[in-house]
Amino acid sequence: MQERFPSDSITVLTDLVLPGETNPLNNLFGGELLARMDRAASITARRHSRRVCVTASVNHVAFNRAIPLGSVVTVEAKVSRTFKTSMEIFIDVWIEDRESGIKNKANEAIYTFVAVDETGRPVEVPAIVPQTEEEKKRFEAALRRKQLSLVLAGKMKPHEATELKALFMQE
Ligand SMILES: CC(C)(COP(=O)(O)OP(=O)(O)OC[C@H]1O[C@@H](n2cnc3c(N)ncnc32)[C@H](O)[C@@H]1OP(=O)(O)O)[C@@H](O)C(=O)NCCC(=O)NCCS
């Protein structure tokens, strides 16, 4: 199967925060942001694998900054690593300053998608080749994140998570 680059499947969704999408503090409702991230990540997974893809797990979400009503929000989703049938998708969320146009990072998340056939059975995906320094760093750490996710889901025994365990042994 032909290897692909993260830039081949990157998805960038830009949209406003409207009144129906906020919490009582007039900031973007967390569930709405999760949905936007899921949509962007699912398009990226589909572009990379050219298959139907399902969300297998949400491994990490950090709501570092509130996103006020009226903000222009950009959600950028990229494949950070592929395994056999699963893909880790890294999502960065930016808010655009109205006057300067400068984008500031607000949040990030890491989702795992699995490519499936018509019957919902997992199928193999093409490998990813990271290009930039950031892509290489995220690729490198993804195996430990997969192991942690599988251990937490009860799908891997802690003693089998070799690379994850090694992280805690470092001085
Ligand atoms: C995701 C799903 C296809 C996995 O099916 P499964 O029978 O567990 O299949 P497998 O055990 O072969 O796992 C498939 C891949 O997913 C990975 N995976 C499964 N659960 C995972 C988890 N919690 N975290 C990280 N990876 C996970 C496995 O490691 C495997 O990866 P690999 O082939 O790249 O090594 C299946 O559980 C499913 O269809 N879930 C519902 C998905 C859905 O509806 N999502 C929308 C949410 S409402």
Pairing, β 52-63 against β 103-116: antiparallel
Which ligand 1 atom sits closest to the C-alpha of 56? 1
Residue pLDDT, tens place only, 124-147: 999 999 999 999 999 999 999 999
Number of separate helices (H) and strands (E) present in the chain: 4, 5
Q: Report the pocket of ligand 1 as residue ranges, CB < 6 Å.
A: 54-57, 83-86, 112, 114, 116, 120, 122, 146, 149-150, 153, 155
Residue pLDDT, tens place only, 28-63: 999 999 999 999 999 999 999 999 999 999 988 988
Among 3.40.50.1820, 3.30.420.40, 3.10.129.10, 1.10.1520.10, name the CATH number for the domain at 6-130.
3.10.129.10
Average pLDDT over residues 142-166: 94
Q: Are 47 and 85 in contact (CB under 8 A)?
A: no
- Please provide the average confidence, as pLDDT, over all residues in the chain: 95
> Which of 51, 86, 88, 160 has most ligand 1 atoms within 8 Å of CB, for mutation?
86
116 Cα to the center of ligand 1, angstroms? 10
List the alpha helices (DSSP H) in the chain. 6-9, 30-49, 133-152, 162-169
Quickly count: other Cβ atoms within 10 Å of residue 41's Cβ.
28
Task: Return the domain boundaries, the chain.
Answer: 6-130
Confidence of residue 167 (pLDDT cuts 50, 70, 90): confident
Quickly count: other Cβ atoms within 10 Å of residue 129's Cβ.
14
